[in-house]
A = this chain, B = another copy of it.
Amino acid sequence: MAAKRPVTRQRKRAAPKSVRKRRGEGADRKDEIIAAATLLLVSEGYEGVSMRKVAAAVGISSTALYLYFEEKDELLDAVCYQVFSQIAPALDALLARDDAPIDLLREGLRAYLRFGLANPDQYRVVFLTRRPRDDWDHRAPLSHIDRWGQPRINTFMYLVEGLRRCQEAGQVRQGDLVTMAETVLAAQHGLLALLILSPQQKWSDPEVLIEENVGLILRGLAP
């Protein structure tokens, strides 16, 4: 029933908007919008997010949305980025601990799955949707500035780093770190994909699947 954007539209986002915000009000409003959209995304799912609904939720006209975001996709991007940036601190903290690397890896693997299951819609938007033009690079440095000048954090690199430490500690077999990380990521990603895209299936208990997944990966990585 929902009408989608006609065709694949060009991103006009090349030039940053540089909204001049006075007294910080701009940013607040923007955050409000993102919050409302996030809520919608979470409660109604991807297709349930429409500009009208977001506007209604915030209490402004839909037109006003376009003051902050040039188009729907930009808003969705913002929502996802905001949510995903929440996982970084956890992984950061993990990396800072001085437990055995293998234990940290295990916890990191669990954390990733838990995060995905806790934010299925965002995960879906970011990782399970084919976007016409995808400007993301999983091999980018952990922390960097993206091509639109936005600061980004690359979760994949946390995994690479975790594996590197384990390798150094002799707790993980030798081999190319990136390939290894890709394989591990895939194994995790697949579980999330199944659980998120086919939620109506009678899968085993998520907690059990998490443990099985992490277990399989760690045994598979053992030297």
Contact = CB atoms under 8 A, between A and B. Distances in A.
Interface residues of A, number: 86
A6 B201 contact: no
A190 interface: yes
Contacts of A74: 6-7, 9
A124 B48 CA distance: 17
Interface string A138-166: 11100000111110111110000000000
B219 A204 contact: no
B209 A216 contact: no
A134 B189 CA distance: 21
B194 A179 contact: no
A101 to B, nearest CB: 18
A168 interface: no
A39 to B, nearest CB: 15
A163 B5 CA distance: 27
A186 B185 contact: no
How many copies of the shown chain assemble into the complex? 4
A111 interface: no
B216 A3 contact: no
Contacts of A129: 45, 197
Given A193-B193, A203-B182, A148 B7 contact: yes
B6 A150 contact: yes
Contacts of A153: 2-3
A-B CB proximity, top 8 nearest? A190-B190, A3-B84, A216-B220, A220-B220, A186-B191, A187-B187, A189-B190, A186-B190
Interface of A: 1-10, 30, 45, 47-48, 70-71, 73-74, 77-78, 80-85, 124, 126-130, 134-140, 146-150, 152-156, 176, 178-180, 182-194, 196-198, 200-204, 208-209, 212-213, 215-222
